[in-house]
Amino acid sequence: MIEISKLGFSYDKQQAPIISGLDLTIREGEWLTVLGRNGSGKSTLARLLNGLLLPSAGQVCVDGLTTLEPDQLWRVREKVAFVFQNPENQFIATSVEDDIAFGPENLGYPREEIIQRVERALELMNLQPIRSKAPHLLSGGEKQRVAIAGALAMASRYLVLDEPTSMLDPQMRRAVLESLHFLHRELGMAIIYITNIMEEALLAERIIVLDQGRIAREGTPVEIFADQQWLLSMGLDLPQISRLSGMLDQAGYHQFAGIVDFQQLLETILCAK
């Protein structure tokens, strides 16, 4: 469990805090999506989760370990891994497998364990065929899968992803999302997923919407996407399916109100016939 209490953060002490008074509990194995307009503090919050940034107030505790204590921080990093938006910025080594090994090497694991972790991550992300390739020669989707594999080789409980698909074409986006679903479903990893793509937000079990460094609202996708005016006022878009169910509702077909699932939409159409 990640327990965030009264969290505050500022990059510059002279200026208003970027995150303030934020309380949030992230459960083991859940898929939590973080939404919010540009500048609302999503990336800052993500970096606070594994101690890339340290709180100015309050604290972040991961399975009882606080990021504020240097001797606990490295254990937090064994649990919480981070994948950035742009995979280009995160490669260090000259081959995929060496790159994946870099994180566990840095955490000081013995050689045998490093090999095991790298092999497992290569297998999970289906990267064996390209294990010897240079990361900069890969496609965007492959790069992002290498970045996720690198994160997996380091940490095993929580994966924080900051707009990981925003640079990918639809096919690569699907491949990355399928990989994440596998980790979530089969390995029970918690996924903390920052996105501004509303179709992706529908995949969440729970959504938080950030506004000016605070949680403006929290709920399931059905709850969050029910209030379309409010979402627009938060600078967010609507998923296509919400747009359609909203239009049908307004046209007098109230049975469609709030539908965010294609199967449910189809069943409601078939019932209406």
Ligand X SMILES: Nc1ncnc2c1ncn2[C@@H]1O[C@H](COP(=O)(O)OP(=O)(O)OP(=O)(O)O)[C@@H](O)[C@H]1O
Residues forming contacts to ligand X in the complex (CB under 6 A) are: 11, 18, 36, 38-44
Contact flag: residue 44 with Mg ion (CB under 5 A):
no
Contacts of 246 (CB under 8 A, 6+ apart): 228, 238, 257
Residue with smaller CB distance to Mg ion, 42 or 77? 42
From the list ligand X, Mg ion, none, pick the one residue 188 interacts with, judged by a Cβ distance below 5 to 8 Å according to partner type. none
Residue with smaller CB distance to ligand X, 65 or 168? 168
CA contacts within 13 A on the Cβ side of 115:
3
Residue with smaller CB distance to ligand X, 20 or 43? 43
Residue with smaller CB distance to Mg ion, 38 or 229? 38
Q: How far is the CB of 4 from ligand X (least distance, A)?
A: 15
Q: Is 199 exposed, middle or buried (0-12, 13-18, 19+ CB in 10 A)?
A: middle
From the list Mg ion, ligand X, none, pick the one residue 103 interacts with, judged by a Cβ distance below 5 to 8 Å according to partner type. none
From the list Mg ion, ligand X, none, pick the one residue 40 interacts with, judged by a Cβ distance below 5 to 8 Å according to partner type. ligand X
Contact flag: residue 43 with Mg ion (CB under 5 A):
yes
Is the Cα torsion angle 175, 51, 41, 202 positive or negative in sign? positive
User: What separation in angstroms does the CA of 70 have from each of 51, 54, 66, 154, 159?
Assistant: 10, 10, 9, 18, 21
Residues pairing with 35 in the sheet? 209
From the list ligand X, Mg ion, none, pick the one residue 36 interacts with, judged by a Cβ distance below 5 to 8 Å according to partner type. ligand X
Q: What SS3 class is residue 41?
A: coil
Q: How far is the CB of 56 from Mg ion (least distance, A)?
A: 19
Rounded distance between C-alpha atoms, residue 62 and residue 80, angstroms: 8
From the list Mg ion, ligand X, none, pick the one residue 150 interacts with, judged by a Cβ distance below 5 to 8 Å according to partner type. none
Residues pairing with 161 in the sheet? 83, 193
The site for Mg ion (CB under 5 A) is made up of: 42-43
